Chain A
Amino acid sequence: MENFTPVSAFLGGCLIGLSAILLLLYNGRTAGISGIMNGIFLSPGHEQRWRLTFLIGLILGAVIFQQIVPDFIQFRSDYPLALVAIGGFLVGVGTRLSSGCTSGHGICGIANLSRRSIIATLCFMASGFITVFIIKHVLYLI
């Protein structure tokens, strides 16, 4: 196994948890990214403004990180873009239907001890494992 990085993964996870705590403690909001993304085209006025501000922060965080640790991540360049586009579309449809994604259900929902979120997380983990198995080891698409 190459590239096993449990320490940085755990510490990065702690930062994500800290971010979720701040947003809940001060603004009473859940740090669910799909809901925040969806909300910038839904709720008018201030509800849109904080969501847009959060997303700008999310991008800024990545920019700042890259300034501090350049070349930490080498992005792939040979992946079929069609899989990204189809995948993105399904992520959009699926997260709206189930009202959450990895952050909303997987982190905030589970931290909130929501049974719905635990079930959703088990479902998307399972279908993610099965999907990668099929496209990689059955269809050899990647």
Chain B
Amino acid sequence: MNKLLVALISGIIFGLGLSLSQMVDPNKVLGFLDIAGDWNPSLAFVMAGALAVAMPGFYWIKKRQRPIFEDGFHLSHKKQIDKPLVLGAIIFGIGWGLSGYCPGPAVAGIGFGNGEALVMVLAIYAGFFAERFIAKK
């Protein structure tokens, strides 16, 4: 129960952050990605703000033996820079540039009643299933 409450509160704060920062607005995202046009660097400040808080936060949390409600941390221990990492990130960036949405803003956009965001979420799931299908082969 406690863990679910934390998940809910954490989700709400994340949604508020995406809204206040206007990451949920695909026009703003495309304005940020359009360096050759009327470039709007606002969204660089979203990442700066997130890292200004998360970087010292993570450093401090990782000094603990374990999280408060779990026996261990579920962090990725992968180290290798491999082809799926680079190729996948490039494909993700193309999709981000075509649509103006990354996964968080697509989900949060549903809360704004934005129909495009719902299409985006469904298409992301189609991509998830397609990748799993390809990976099995």
User: Residues 21-60 of chain B: 1 if any A CB is under 8 Å from the residue's CB, otherwise 0?
Assistant: 1111111101101111111111111111111111101100
| CB-CB nearest in chain B for A14 | B49
User: Residues 55-96 of chain B: 1 if any A CB is under 8 Å from the residue's CB, otherwise 0?
Assistant: 101100110101111101111101111001111111111111
- B residues engaging A (CB < 8 A)? 2-4, 6-28, 30-31, 33-55, 57-58, 61-62, 64, 66-70, 72-76, 78-81, 84-104, 106-112, 114, 116, 119-132, 134-135
The residue from B27, B89, B101 contacting A84, defined by CB atoms under 8 A apart: B101
Contact residues in A for B34 (Cβ distance below 8 Å): 132-133, 136
The residue from A1, A28, A127, A132 contacting B90, defined by CB atoms under 8 A apart: A127
The residue from B75, B95, B109, B111 contacting A91, defined by CB atoms under 8 A apart: B95
Task: Give 4 nearest A-B pairs by CB, closest first.
Answer: A92-B127, A61-B15, A57-B11, A13-B49
Tell me whether A37 and B53 are in contact (CB under 8 A).
Answer: no
The residue from B13, B38, B44, B106 contacting A19, defined by CB atoms under 8 A apart: B13
A119 and B81 in contact, given A84-B116, A88-B126 (Cβ under 8 angstroms): yes
Tell me whether A135 and B116 are in contact (CB under 8 A).
Answer: no
Having A12-B20, A96-B135, one finds 17 other A-B pairs with CB under 8 Å, namely: A13-B21, A13-B52, A15-B17, A16-B54, A22-B10, A27-B70, A33-B107, A56-B11, A57-B9, A59-B111, A75-B112, A86-B123, A91-B106, A95-B92, A99-B84, A108-B58, A125-B93
Q: Interface size for chain A: under 10, 10 to 19, 20 to 34, or 35 or more residues?
A: 35 or more
Tell me whether A89 and B130 are in contact (CB under 8 A).
Answer: yes
Main secondary structure on B side of the interface with A:
helix
Contact residues in A for B55 (Cβ distance below 8 Å): 110-111
User: Residues 32-67 of chain A: 1 if any B CB is under 8 Å from the residue's CB, otherwise 0?
Assistant: 011001100100001001110111111111111110
Tell me whether A88 and B107 are in contact (CB under 8 A).
Answer: no
Contact residues in B for A18 (Cβ distance below 8 Å): 13, 17, 53, 57
A10 and B33 in contact, given A28-B72, A62-B111 (Cβ under 8 angstroms): no
Contact residues in A for B111 (Cβ distance below 8 Å): 58-63, 65-66
Tell me whether A15 and B51 are in contact (CB under 8 A).
Answer: no
